[in-house]
Amino acid sequence: MTTKTYITALLLAITVAAAAQTSSTARVERNLTIYNDVLRQLDINYADTLNYDELVATSIHQMLRKIDPYTVYIPEDKTQDLRLMTTGKYGGIGAMIMLRQDTIPDNLKRYMPKSAEKRYVAVSEPYEGMPAQKNDVRAGDIIIEVDGKNVLGKTTPDVSALLRGVPHSVVTLKLLRTNEDKPLTVAFEREEIKLPPVEFYTVIDSGKQKTGYIIFSEFTEGSAEQFRQAVDDMVAKQHITSLVIDLRNNGGGIIDEAVKIMSLFVDKGTEIVSTKGKNKNANRTYKTTTQPRYPDMQLAVLVNSNSASAAEIVAGSMQDLDRALLIGTRTYGKGLVQSIRPIAYNGHLKVTTSKYYIPSGRCIQAIDYSKRRQDGSVERVPDSLTHEFRTAKGRTVRDGGGIEPDILLDDSAKVDITYSLYVKNCFFDYATLYRNTHPSIAPADSFVLSDEDVEDFIIFLKERNFTYQTETSKYFAEMLDMAHHEDIDSLTMAELDKLAERLTPSYEQAIRAHKDEVKSMLAAEIAQRYYFGRGAVIQNMKKDKMLKRAVEELNNL
């Protein structure tokens, strides 16, 4: 190509790009003019007074919902939520809460305002070492008032907003405890709450070798440093030679933190992830910047369908670089990157600016939000449209559908009696009662429930009129109802009625048939009451199929 031809082509490209930019700007200005005119006409002509802040916020939220779930408007009064997203910090009491709207307990009814919705908010989990736990706020405690304001009938966001506040400000709670008629009032200072990204770590001694196990929950500022400290501690004190990194239910976070974690295990200068977007400023390549601290550590990574974003960057780059064994279920498939941009009046826009690509070159984004059905719903990328890529050692991996582990192993529970007991909060409510009637229990690693405890649990279910229906019996009941309205002979109907009786489940029999599973789930819930999140993890480790498989695989390397 001659110099003249090259310059001509370059000028043409610049002209086309400039024309496209001008066209885009014109479309934006046109639509802003229409929007402003509509708002102005409402202001002049509408019969009633309008809340313009609410109208504009609603229009922005509805507009962004059409794009993707991750592009969101954060107004000035929600900046604390923004801080929580990026740092994991907030000012509050250090407890999770949940909405209950199944049955109003008898001891609560006298305090429930007549005009209130029949629902209430209860503490679901106080975090160990934080203000709520240090002041004996317990899981299951019903929140009646916050700073003198009755919150019965309110929603979880309503109550959460009242519980949060400036660190060192005093919050006063009126709480009602299970089987107690008189509320208790506690007052204490809020603190700056930093959710620990390393939820738990321990060493598993299998006899062949010592394997570290670390549950990593989110990629917030400083999380990689806490991860490193946990690994260093296990290496220094117990000389682990292998490590299981648990990224199940980790929704992701900051890319830089993911790269820092990878820096502990792979060579300096290794590409971990690159981002590409419409704006060239969004294009970036992330490489490790330090020599690896543990280049020979044998690794396994646990993932599930709730492992997303930065968690998938770690899991996917481990797989692409053939650095770790992945075990679990296919990950969520979020290959989109968001940046936070300041906007007028101290608001922020968290906007999707690019897609990320892991070392093999694949993007694992599983949903195409740009293509929607007529009803507005979206589909996952079909397998037929995915492409093959190669890992560092030549293994085949695919894009467009999350990350498929090297060993597929499902840890989800069956839809049986334990599932029904869980979703109806039966384990939670029994554990609440147990904690309030048992001052102490054995250490978390040795605590077990007896058969007598299971029988006591069954009595508890009878007293609360628990009902149990399998999916099979539910669908058969619907079919039987239809059959009674159709022209089916009496003999056949009699047989169907007998079958219905046989399909009607007895929850007592079902609990005894699944006694070990019921014991396990109930023991974990009870252990959490005394030893908090740590207690539940220790109990759950006893039946964790993925963890056991990971330790076995590492022992065989």
In the chain, the amino acid numbered 146 is V
In this prediction, residue 289 carries a pLDDT of: 94
In this prediction, residue 482 carries a pLDDT of: 74
Look at residues 550, 545, 528 and name the one whose alpha carbon lies nearest to residue 537.
Answer: 528
In this prediction, residue 471 carries a pLDDT of: 63
Residue 182 DSSP symbol: S
CATH of residue 115: 2.30.42.10
Residue 351 DSSP symbol: E
Answer whether residue 109 is part of any domain: yes
Residues 236 and 367 in one domain: yes
In this prediction, residue 215 carries a pLDDT of: 98
E-assigned strand segments in 358-499:
367-372, 378-380, 388-390, 396-398, 407-408
Cα–Cα distance between 201 and 244 in angstroms, integer?
A: 10
Answer whether residue 242 is part of any domain: yes
In this prediction, residue 529 carries a pLDDT of: 97
HSE-CB at 123 with a 13 A cutoff on CA atoms is: 30
Residues 348 and 436 in one domain: no
Answer whether residue 488 is part of any domain: no
Answer whether residue 497 is part of any domain: no
Residues 234 and 216 in one domain: yes
Cα–Cα distance between 511 and 114 in angstroms, integer?
A: 38
Answer whether residue 107 is part of any domain: yes
Answer whether residue 478 is part of any domain: no
Residue 198 DSSP symbol: E
- In tens, the pLDDT along 312-324 reads 999 999 999 999 9
Residues 385 and 276 in one domain: yes
Residues 185 and 213 in one domain: no
In this prediction, residue 74 carries a pLDDT of: 87
In the chain, the amino acid numbered 73 is Y
Which of 281-308 are b and which e, b meaning 16 or more Cβ less than 10 Å from the residue's Cβ?
A: eeeeebbbeeebebeebbbbbbbbbebb
**Contact residues for 356 (Cβ-Cβ < 8 A; gap 6+):** 255, 273, 274, 275, 313, 335, 336, 337, 363
In this prediction, residue 7 carries a pLDDT of: 57
In the chain, the amino acid numbered 156 is T
User: Partners of 245 in the beta sheet?
Assistant: 214, 301
Domain that holds residue 44: 3-50
Pick out the chain residues at pLDDT < 50: 16
Cα–Cα distance between 159 and 162 in angstroms, integer?
A: 5
Residues 401 and 343 in one domain: yes
Look at residues 261, 368, 252, 271 and name the one whose alpha carbon lies nearest to residue 312.
Answer: 252
Which of 146, 179, 194 is the endpoint of a domain?
194
CATH of residue 366: 3.90.226.10
Answer whether residue 78 is part of any domain: no
Which of 194, 211, 245 is the endpoint of a domain?
194
Residues 210 and 170 in one domain: no
DSSP 109-138: GGGS-TTS-S-EEEEEEEPTTSHHHHTT--
Euclidean distance between the first and final Cα of the chain, in Å?
56
Cα–Cα distance between 456 and 391 in angstroms, integer?
A: 54
Helix (H) or strand (E) holding 274: strand 271-276
For the chain, the domain total comes to 4
Residues 117 and 223 in one domain: no
Cα–Cα distance between 220 and 85 in angstroms, integer?
A: 8
Residues 163 and 214 in one domain: no
Residues 255 and 393 in one domain: yes
In this prediction, residue 85 carries a pLDDT of: 72
Look at residues 22, 29, 27, 56 and name the one whose alpha carbon lies nearest to residue 40.
Answer: 56
HSE-CB at 104 with a 13 A cutoff on CA atoms is: 17
Residues 226 and 110 in one domain: no
Residues 170 and 207 in one domain: no
Which of 164, 194, 224 is the endpoint of a domain?
194
Answer whether residue 496 is part of any domain: no
Strands 325-328 and 407-408: parallel
